[in-house]
């Protein structure tokens, strides 16, 4: 049961945003965590901080017309939700996936506020995207779509205003087309307007690897608290995109054995550990399907099209595909099979019921807004390099990322302790992220 004042604010938020289940889920989770703050600091809610935090500063929805390879006109919908700029310019990725709608963009933007605050870097929260599906599209189609998308978005963004990046369906190719069109329309080389850029044109080393690396580092930190490590441990990873690939790489570097990868068609199990070069060739270069991995592994891996990747026994689990991909039954199965830590590479991949099961079973659970913050943190490092017209080495940048991830872990752990919920990273991350944003909002007055 929530405190009545908090419940009243939450009810108003839910009523004002009907038909947005993902946003409701994200908002409920934050309100649940903030119950411990409400007990000690009712002034945040009294000052309307929560009501204001839940209402995006600006929401932009626009038409994206483009012409496909057959000469047919296609129309998609573009979104940019500029959620909160208390700590810096809006910052958050663009997602291109057929499922994208306002609810999904808002849940992602809302989470982004707290995540960005946790990094300790000066970035606000935002998110955007389109219901455009890049699967099966030619490079020319993707380029024309990106150019049309940016023809509207460019007027809303800028290095001091709003700095988009990649997410599902938006990688180096899409960022290139988007940046090219922005440069053309604005007639200036404003490198800091987008992150995730190519290394030859303002990108940062380690940005590609950062989210996956960060999620694995976060898992390692949780394991350390339990006096253990990845060494020799089996890990199940879902997804086979940017986050999953580099989570697998870092797990391997830390001595773990990542044995699975998946996409929306199924998953592969490779008991010897995923062959990363093969996975990268199929997914990053050929943009193929995950079944091809098993076909080309010469009998050492199997492809499973039914069931769930979470049925595979392992010590550590890293969901790295998409929201709500790990349900209560999956959590039960993982617990039965002896999982000790779960680190979310994706945003909100575990359902609330699954999170409860992990926590009740004493599994170390790192929520996405803490565990996957390495991507946006390194985006902020890319902005720093752009502003200074500088380019840092891989080693230096990775060192900064590692330091930031350890800092986030420590902050979440200590904040959970401070509020009497030891080991609860969900509460720790939400409260630590919230406090900084809330205090800045109070300083600025009612705006």
The site for ligand NDP (CB under 6 A) is made up of 166-169, 211, 239-244, 263-264, 320-322, 345-347, 372, 375
CA-to-CA separations, 101 to 25, 62, 66, 211, 388, in angstroms, rounded: 15, 12, 19, 23, 36
State the nearest-atom distance from the C-beta of 243 to ligand NDP, in Å.
4
- Measured from the CB atom, is 204 or 322 closer to ligand NDP? 322
List CB contacts of 351: < 8 A, sequence separation 6 or more.
324, 326, 327, 328
State the nearest-atom distance from the C-beta of 8 to ligand NDP, in Å.
31
- Measured from the CB atom, is 256 or 345 closer to ligand NDP? 345
- Measured from the CB atom, is 36 or 146 closer to ligand NDP? 146
Q: What angle, 0 to 180 degrees and rounded to 10, lies between the N-to-C axes of helices 207-225 and 394-418?
A: 40
Residue 413 to residue 411: CA distance in whole angstroms? 5
State the nearest-atom distance from the C-beta of 283 to ligand NDP, in Å.
7
User: Which sign, positive or negative, has the C-alpha torsion 218, 222, 357, 1?
Assistant: negative
Is residue 91 part of the annotated active site? The answer reads no
- Measured from the CB atom, is 167 or 315 closer to ligand NDP? 167
Residue 210 to residue 186: CA distance in whole angstroms? 29
- Measured from the CB atom, is 56 or 166 closer to ligand NDP? 166
Joined together, the tokens standing for residue 434 give: 């919230």
State the nearest-atom distance from the C-beta of 251 to ligand NDP, in Å.
15
- Measured from the CB atom, is 321 or 383 closer to ligand NDP? 321
8 A C-beta contact, residue 206 and residue 197: no
State the nearest-atom distance from the C-beta of 234 to ligand NDP, in Å.
20
Residue 57 to residue 51: CA distance in whole angstroms? 12
List CB contacts of 170: < 8 A, sequence separation 6 or more.
93, 94, 95, 96, 129, 196
Joined together, the tokens standing for residue 273 give: 């550990």
Q: Which of 127, 183, 250, 369 is catalytic?
A: 127
8 A C-beta contact, residue 312 and residue 274: no
Joined together, the tokens standing for residue 82 give: 């500029």
- Measured from the CB atom, is 113 or 168 closer to ligand NDP? 168
CA-to-CA separations, 62 to 78, 177, 195, 369, 443, in angstroms, rounded: 5, 19, 22, 28, 33
Q: Pick from 307, 305, 334, 306: which is nearest to 319 by CA?
A: 334
State the nearest-atom distance from the C-beta of 244 to ligand NDP, in Å.
6
State the nearest-atom distance from the C-beta of 365 to ligand NDP, in Å.
17
Task: Mark 91-120 as b/e (b = at least 16 C-beta within 10 Å).
Answer: bbbbbbbeebebbbbbbbbbbbbbbbbbbb
Which residue of the chain is nearest ligand NDP when measured via CB? Answer: 241
Residue 423: count of CB within 10 angstroms of its CB = 16
Q: Find how far residue 80's CA is from the centre of its chain.
A: 16
Q: Find how far residue 407's CA is from the centre of its chain.
A: 18
State the nearest-atom distance from the C-beta of 112 to ligand NDP, in Å.
9
- Measured from the CB atom, is 151 or 372 closer to ligand NDP? 372
Query: Phi and psi for 394 in degrees, rounded to 5?
Result: -60, -45
Report the 3 state secondary structure along 227-287: CCCCCCCEEEECCCCHHHHHHHHHHHHCCCEECEEEECCEEEEECCCCCHHHHHHHHHHCC
Which are the catalytic amino acids?
A: 127
């Amino acid at each position: 049961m929530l405190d009545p004042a908090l419940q009243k604010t939450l009810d108003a938020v839910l009523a004002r945003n009907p038909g947005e289940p993902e946003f409701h889920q994200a908002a409920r989770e934050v309100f649940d965590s903030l119950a411990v703050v409400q007990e000690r600091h009712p002034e945040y809610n009294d000052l309307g901080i929560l009501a204001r935090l839940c209402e995006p500063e600006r929401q932009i929805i626009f038409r994206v017309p483009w012409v496909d390879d057959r000469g047919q006109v296609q129309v998609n919908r573009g979104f940019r939700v500029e959620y909160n700029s208390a700590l810096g310019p809006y910052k958050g990725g663009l997602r291109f996936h057929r499922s994208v709608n306002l609810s999904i963009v808002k849940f992602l933007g809302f989470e982004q506020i707290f995540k960005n605050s946790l990094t300790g870097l000066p970035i606000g929260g935002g998110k955007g995207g389109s219901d455009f599906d890049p699967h099966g599209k030619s490079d020319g189609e993707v380029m024309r779509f990106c150019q049309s998308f940016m023809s509207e978005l460019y007027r809303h963004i800028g290095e001091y205003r709003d700095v988009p990046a990649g997410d599902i369906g938006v990688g180096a190719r899409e960022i290139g087309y988007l940046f090219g069109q922005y440069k053309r329309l604005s007639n200036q080389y404003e490198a800091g307007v987008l992150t995730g850029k190519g290394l030859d044109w303002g990108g940062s080393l380690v940005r590609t690897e950062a989210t996956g690396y960060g999620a694995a580092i976060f898992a390692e930190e949780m394991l350390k608290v339990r006096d253990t490590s990845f060494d020799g441990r089996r890990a199940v990873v879902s997804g086979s995109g940017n986050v999953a690939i580099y989570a697998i790489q870092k797990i391997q570097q830390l001595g773990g054995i990542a044995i699975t990868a998946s996409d929306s068609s199924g998953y592969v199990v490779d008991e010897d550990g995923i062959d990363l070069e093969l996975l990268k060739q199929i997914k990053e270069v050929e943009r193929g399907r995950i079944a091809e991995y098993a076909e080309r592994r010469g009998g050492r891996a199997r492809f499973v099209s039914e069931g769930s990747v979470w049925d595979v026994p392992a010590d550590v689990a890293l969901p790295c595909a998409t929201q709500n991909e790990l349900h209560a039954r999956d959590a039960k199965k993982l617990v039965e099979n002896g999982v000790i830590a779960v680190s979310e590479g994706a945003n909100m991949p575990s359902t609330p019921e699954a999170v409860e099961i992990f926590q009740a079973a004493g599994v170390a659970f790192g929520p996405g807004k803490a565990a996957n913050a390495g991507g946006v943190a390194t985006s902020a490092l890319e902005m720093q390099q752009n502003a200074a017209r500088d380019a840092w080495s891989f080693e230096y940048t990775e060192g900064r990322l590692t330091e930031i991830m350890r800092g986030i872990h420590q902050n979440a752990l200590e904040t959970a302790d401070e509020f009497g919920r030891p080991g609860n990273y969900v509460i720790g991350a939400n409260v630590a992220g919230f406090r900084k944003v809330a205090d800045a909002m109070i300083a600025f007055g009612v705006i």
